Amino acid sequence: MQKKGFKFMWLMVTAMIVCFLTAGAISGKETKDDMCIPMGDIELKAPDSVESIRPSVRFPHSSHFDYSCKQCHHTWDGSEQVQGCMTSGCHDLDQAPKKVKGAKSDDDIQYYKNAYHAQCIGCHKNIKAKNKEIELSVSVMKPKLMKTGPTGCIQCHEE
Ligand code: HEC
Ligand code: HEC
Ligand code: HEC
């Protein structure tokens, strides 16, 4: 927790935080470190170096726990601390990279905004598309529509 403490200044967890020992601590290795899982809402903000255009985004972390942790924390090994998305070497570009001819400007996933948009909007849109298929299907035994999250700008970047 200690080495991660500063991170929570901008994470601004508004609800409970649940902590447990990581595998390292359980097996008595040197990494005696708790991992704390923010429950409830996490505020997702642009890095300090960015003058943001849009308001920050409320992310209800625990509404997403039907998914595997690794669905989002895709580099997590299951025993070490979960790293933030903008950790150095990950989605740590704070500006859109220069456009390469032929490539779409939202291709570069190292740019934090593209990473968030691809993951958050991508999944919500996928579910919407599947629901649309269900709605349009003529079958008698239609499965129930799935819950999904926002895909519109101001639904996420709320004032
Ligand atoms: C739908 C995506 C998603 C799922 C599923 C998810 N998380 Fe997260 N989690 C996030 C995001 C986004 C953050 C904020 C990361 C940041 O600030 O860079 C976060 C933050 C965290 C943090 C704090 C990281 C830090 O920087 O200190 C921990 C710990 C964590 N998650 C653990 C978990 C665990 C354990 C699970 C599975 C039960 C899980 N998460 C499932 C998206 C997810
Ligand atoms: C793998 C799929 C997936 C990913 C990735 C994902 N979501 Fe969701 N999201 C969902 C589903 C499913 C729901 C509906 C959950 C429910 O209502 O029980 C949801 C609901 C939400 C809601 C509304 C629910 C509430 O409790 O208010 C918000 C806001 C949201 N997501 C934001 C985000 C953000 C921001 C990210 C990226 C950091 C993200 N989501 C990533 C699947 C996903
Ligand atoms: C599912 C949630 C979600 C939706 C929908 C969404 N965004 Fe974002 N957006 C984020 C997250 C998370 C970030 C990273 C945190 C931040 O910078 O606020 C972000 C970052 C940004 C940024 C960079 C930071 C800034 O404010 O300058 C811009 C610009 C932006 N989004 C614009 C948009 C626009 C325009 C739309 C609609 C086409 C949109 N977003 C839709 C979640 C979303």
Q: Tell me the mean pLDDT in the region 74-102.
A: 91
Cβ pair 96, 108 in contact under 8 A: yes
**Does 106 have pLDDT greater than 90?**
no
> Whole-angstrom distance between the N-terminal and C-terminal Cα of the chain?
31
Q: d(Cα 128, Cα 133) in Å, to the nearest integer?
A: 9
Is the shortest distance between the CB of 58 and ligand 1 below 6 Å?
A: no
- Pairing type for strands 34-38 and 41-44 reads unpaired
Identify which ligand lies nearest to the alpha carbon of 119: 2
Per DSSP, the residues of 43-109 read EE---TTS--SS--EEEEGGGGTTS-HHHHSTT--SSSPPPPTT-TTSS-B-SPPPPPTTS-TT--T
**Does 31 have pLDDT greater than 70?**
no
pLDDT score at 25: 47
**Does 28 have pLDDT greater than 50?**
no
* CA-nearest residue, atom 22 of ligand 2: 149
- For the chain, give percent helix, strand, coil, nearest 5: 30, 15, 55
pLDDT digit string, tens, across residues 118-145 = 999 999 999 999 999 999 998 888 889 9
Cβ pair 76, 83 in contact under 8 A: yes
Q: Which atom of ligand 1 sits closest to the CA of residue 81?
A: 29
**Does 146 have pLDDT greater than 60?**
yes
Q: Tell me the mean pLDDT in the region 93-108.
A: 81
Is the shortest distance between the CB of 40 and ligand 2 below 6 Å?
A: no
> Whole-model pTM?
0.89
Identify which ligand lies nearest to the alpha carbon of 5: 1
